[in-house]
Chains A and B, each alone.
Chain A
Amino acid sequence: MQGAATPMLEVKRLRKIYEDASRTVEAIRDVSFSVGQGELVCIVGPSGAGKTTLLKCVAGLLAPTSGGIILEGQPVAGPPPAMAVVFQEYGRSLFPWMSVHDNVALPLKQKKMSAERREELVRDALSSVDLAGVDGAYPWQLSGGMQQRVAIARAVAYEPHVLLMDEPFAAVDAQTRADLEDLIRVLWRRLRVTVLFVTHDIDESVYLGQRVLVMSHAPTIIMEDVAIDLPDERTQLETRSMMRFGELRKHIYSQIQLAKQGWRPPSE
């Protein structure tokens, strides 16, 4: 799957230092990787590993201190139109004063398109996340899992080339999380979109990803780029009980343990 000539997304020697009045924090020291067109790559690491910082830099929401992001050959200076982000705090990422339908439709109003096309996209997006009937409801009338689905529908309707997800299922119960993980894989296959998925859950990263990037503790670098050689058809029950799943998981887990202890790979 890594055959594409020009990668969809390139992160080159990304560095991010936070400065405020009292102290300086180097969140990301040196991160470089690339994501091919249509890949599903997971980023996993201990808490405090700057995963969210990394995602925000990729999304154009945060300016890096040095290094750069290249999306489809163009450098990223601000949020690009070909990208959509799904945040962790679903409760706060939806507009409470708008119905579900209007929430999904609003970003589309920024893109030039006819009203019919917009309605079509909204309808398709909502039905693709199994929320066809609730478009008149308000977000706070829905459960947590449904709210996150609305956020996903909003991202899907936007027709992005790259979908960024920042620990989207961390605040959701285990059963809902399993359903949402499967939903992401289905959407990914159907829409042929490139996905960058940040998570702290190792099992989730192995289950979802084709590759898993393991981050170190801050100042963050990539510890390893693990290829997930599990079959393409994955199910919660079968895939997670495979032996290969267990091996990959164990490997990544031990990497994370090393990261927590401050171990870093020898620099080149």
Chain B
Amino acid sequence: MKSIVRPLRRVTVMLALPAALIATWWFTSAGSQNFYFPPLQTILDTFAKLWFSSQAIPNVLPSLARLSVGFLAAAFLGIAIGVPVGASRTLRNVLEPVLEFLRAVPPPVLVPVLILFTGIGNEMKALVIVSGCIWPVLLNTVAGVRSLDEVLEEVVRSYRITGFARLWHFVLPGASPQIFTGLRQSLSIGIILMVVSEMFAASDGIGFVLVQYQRTFAIPEMWSGIIVLGIIGIVLSLIFRAVEAWILGWYHGLRQSQRAS
């Protein structure tokens, strides 16, 4: 009995405020005549109707597919380029101003630019995501590789650990906390670019659908779309956190022990 109480309390506390907020939304919008803010019930009904049936697959999946491809490609390229740049002081000094400039260009700006090059198809959207997401990963990889512990670097040298083993056992794990910071920034940029590129020019995708609903004043549908995007954001964030906790478990443990001392 005792063993259930503590987790039960935690769950209750966790759900208390959200439940209260949702309830407030429900009741204050219940009889709503306001065109832009329909009753929550209507929204949820529409949500169930739309997204559990016809709309989900043809729209959510392509969006997520483009995001995944773009994000993973950006992560791979960012790390692959970031490691050698971070390791060479000359390369770093030469490239850093250029990279900082490219990174400072607000990513949504790339949508019109890339439409010029590649039209409005899937390539454009994936490329837009890659070209926006690569910079935080790249720059954080450079910073992470640069800040590798010097003592550990000498240990690696003294035991003649070179080449791939050095990269796999020393450079990448050592830089991984900083790399993950970059990946986190990249993920939120990727979501923005996914939506904006679809709103701007698309034939499918969540962004496209949302704009359609808004233009045709299909309000409950639009709200349901907003909720879907919100859920996607939350789920992606949870997945990211889970992956990070798995790969950086050692880092969290290390930081905890450092803080305790």
Chain A interface residues (CB < 8 Å from chain B): 56, 59-61, 78-79, 81, 83-85, 87, 89, 92-93, 95-98, 106-107, 109-110, 138, 140-141, 158
Contacts and interface: CB of A to CB of B under 8 A. Distances in A.
A106 B159 contact: yes
22 contacts: A56-B154, A59-B158, A79-B158, A81-B160, A84-B159, A87-B154, A89-B151, A92-B152, A93-B155, A95-B152, A95-B173, A97-B176, A97-B251, A98-B250, A106-B159, A107-B159, A107-B161, A110-B165, A138-B253, A140-B253, A140-B254, A141-B257
Contact of A106 (B154, B158, B169, B176): B169
Contact of B173 (A83, A84, A93, A97): A97
Interface in B149-183: 149, 151-152, 154-155, 157-161, 165, 169-170, 173-174, 176
A266 to B, nearest CB: 36
Interface in B120-170: 149, 151-152, 154-155, 157-161, 165, 169-170
Given A79-B158, A140-B253, 6 more contacts: A60-B158, A87-B151, A97-B176, A97-B251, A109-B165, A110-B165
Contacts of A79: 157-160
8 A-B pairs with least C-beta separation: A107-B159, A92-B151, A97-B250, A97-B173, A85-B158, A140-B257, A140-B254, A79-B158
Contact of B152 (A83, A93, A110): A93
- Chain B binding surface SS class: helix
Interface in B246-261: 250-251, 253-254, 257-258
A100 B169 CA distance: 14
B225 to A, nearest CB: 42
Contacts of A81: 160
Interface in B226-261: 250-251, 253-254, 257-258
Contacts of A138: 250, 253-254
Contacts of B160: 78-79, 81, 107, 110
Contact of A87 (B155, B250, B254, B258): B155
A90 B211 CA distance: 59
Nearest to A56: B154
B175 to A, nearest CB: 11
